[in-house]
Amino acid sequence: MEQYFSVENIFPTVRYGVHRKTEKGWKIDSRIITDHEFVLIEKGSGIITIEEKNYTARSGMFFYFSPGIVHSLCTDDDEPFSFYAVHFSYVFLEKETKEWTVSPVAPNLPLQSVQNIYNYKVLAENMAGLIDYLNRHLQNWELMVRTLFQSCIYHLFQYNAYKKIDHSAKVKIDTVANYIAINIEKNFTAGELAELVKVTPDYISRLFKKYTGNTLISYINLCKIARAKTYLIENNVAIRRIANTLSFSDEFYFSKVFKKVEGISPSQFRRIVQLQKNTL
């Protein structure tokens, strides 16, 4: 019987994570691993070989190495790549009636070995956070690592669904998503975004819900909170000012949205970041 995959079916154990910036001459010769590995190219270029087939590695390229797959990595000498890598295993949970059971064999994830990820920076942020928590063993690190890993899985599953949409819908979503990213500090309306692609507000909202899994408002909030985290990490600007900069109605609504997305408040997030800096 075909197994149904969703985030809740996957209970991971993350064994190793690294954000590696390679130098001229860096490579990993052909190997086989016994666990699973995600690799996301951040920037630069190189060659990654999977089962004797070469792939050009560049920004946004995602590679999934499952157990037993022969692969190798080699950076470009003129433009060495940097990448995020996470090694993991997982237990596959199946629900029979009202009870969860453990599958005797964890199948490979239903992901392509090589993908060019749209909006890969969201995935990069999740992998970077996961690696940071894993290597620093901060408070609640096991929970945070598992949560961030499942966020990565969710993003990858959603991307696979997104690839199946028709070209016209994809162009519309790309146009609106790029506009949001470039103008993230604006206060967007569905009407304004719909006008960009000459459709009705209701239609563009349905497209986002159908193909990204998020309502248009939820997608905008996800992007704004990602930017807010950057502000919280990089400077000591007051939370009220961050909320105003990102066009939230007030500090309290901003904090409510932030906690819904991240599971903690902006002030808690800032304290965690400060703790990390103090341990350096």
Which amino acid does the sequence have at 156?
L
Chain-wide mean pLDDT for the chain?
85
What is each CA distance from 186 to 3, 174, 203, 206, in whole angstroms? 43, 18, 21, 22
Question: What is the arithmetic mean of pLDDT over 20-29?
Answer: 96
How many whole angstroms separate alpha carbon 237 and alpha carbon 166?
43
**Tens digits of per-residue pLDDT, 258-274?**
988 888 899 988 887 77
Token look-up 């903690």 returns 264
| Pair 180, 212: CB distance under 8 Å | no
Which own/partner pairs from 104-111 qualify as long-range (CB within 8 Å, at least 24 positions apart)?
A: 107/3, 108/36, 108/66, 108/67, 109/5, 109/10, 109/36, 109/64, 109/66, 109/153, 110/5, 110/160, 111/64, 111/156, 111/160
Quick: pLDDT tens for 112-157.
Answer: 899 988 678 888 988 998 999 899 886 678 878 888 888 888 778 8
DSSP 8-state symbol, 247: T
Q: What is the pLDDT of residues 49-107, one digit of tens each?
A: 999 999 999 999 999 999 999 999 999 999 999 999 999 998 876 655 555 555 556 67
pLDDT-above-70 percentage for the chain = 86
What pLDDT, on the 0 to 100 scale, is given for residue 103? 59
Contact 62, 29 (CB under 8 A): no
- CA-to-CA separations, 258 to 261, 265, 270, in angstroms, rounded: 5, 6, 12
Neighbours of 269 (CB within 10 A): 20
Q: Which domains does the chain have, with CATH numbers?
A: 7-118 (2.60.120.10), 165-278 (1.10.10.60)
Residue 190 has which token pair? 């569905």
Contacting residues for 268 by C-beta, under 8 A, at least 6 apart:
none
Residues with Cβ within 8 Å of 17's Cβ and at least 6 positions away in sequence, in order, are 84, 85, 86, 87, 127, 130, 131, 134, 135
Distance CA 114, CA 54 (A): 11
Asked if residue 3 has pLDDT above 50, the reply is: no
Selection from 121, 30, 43 nearest residue 80 by Cα? 43
pTM for this one? 0.62
Backbone torsion region of residue 58, taken as left when φ is above 0, otherwise alpha when ψ lies between -120 and 50, otherwise beta: beta
